Structure formats: C-alpha cells, structure tokens
Amino acid sequence: MRPRPAGYDPNDEDRCRRCGVCCGATDGHPCEHLVRNGKQYRCEIYPYRFGPHKTVTGRHFTCVPVRDVIRTGGGHPGCVYATDE
C-alpha cells in the first residue's frame, strides 16, 4: 500500500457519495481505474490510488485526496467535501 498523504483522514471516506466527479467521471477524462457501479462509482485500486496514474484518454495525473483538489480551487459544488469546509 502506498503511504497516505499528510492530512489524510480515514473518517472522510464515510461521507463520500461516490459521484465520481473528483475522479473525472463528468469531464471526459476519467481515471482508468474508475468503475461505474449503477449510479455510483468506485476505484478498482482504491487502497493504492494515491500517486501517478493515467486517464482513459492517456493523460497523466497524480491522484491526491479530494480535500487537496478542493483547496486548490477544484471540487464539485454538490460534493460533501466542498460544502463541508
């Protein structure tokens, strides 16, 4: 398992709605490990997700905790992480 980034809080996991937005489900460049499960999404390598990966279109990116995305101006308005801070 990859080391967890600073500030990682395992209690945050329970609040996620599994919408997939932070993993690219709605921007045309989803992570190659994002799997649709009905109306929700899941990461097929979840315990190992942090670090370098690719989208299904071949773009390289670094998977980080969603709070890092929100802190730098990203995040979806309906995301519990974005509205909870």
Mean pLDDT (whole number) for 2-21: 70
Residue 65: what pLDDT? 79
The pLDDT of residue 70 is: 65
Q: What are phi and psi of 71, to 5 degrees?
A: -60, -30
* Amino acid in the structure at residue 42: R
| pLDDT at residue 85 in the model | 47
Q: Which residue has the tokens 């909870």?
A: 84
Q: Is 0.85 topped by the overall pTM?
A: no
Each residue of 31-84: pLDDT tens digit?
999 999 999 999 999 989 999 999 999 999 999 877 776 666 666 666 776 665
CA distance 32 to 18: 16
Amino acid at the residue 72: T
Residue with tokens 């690219």: 24
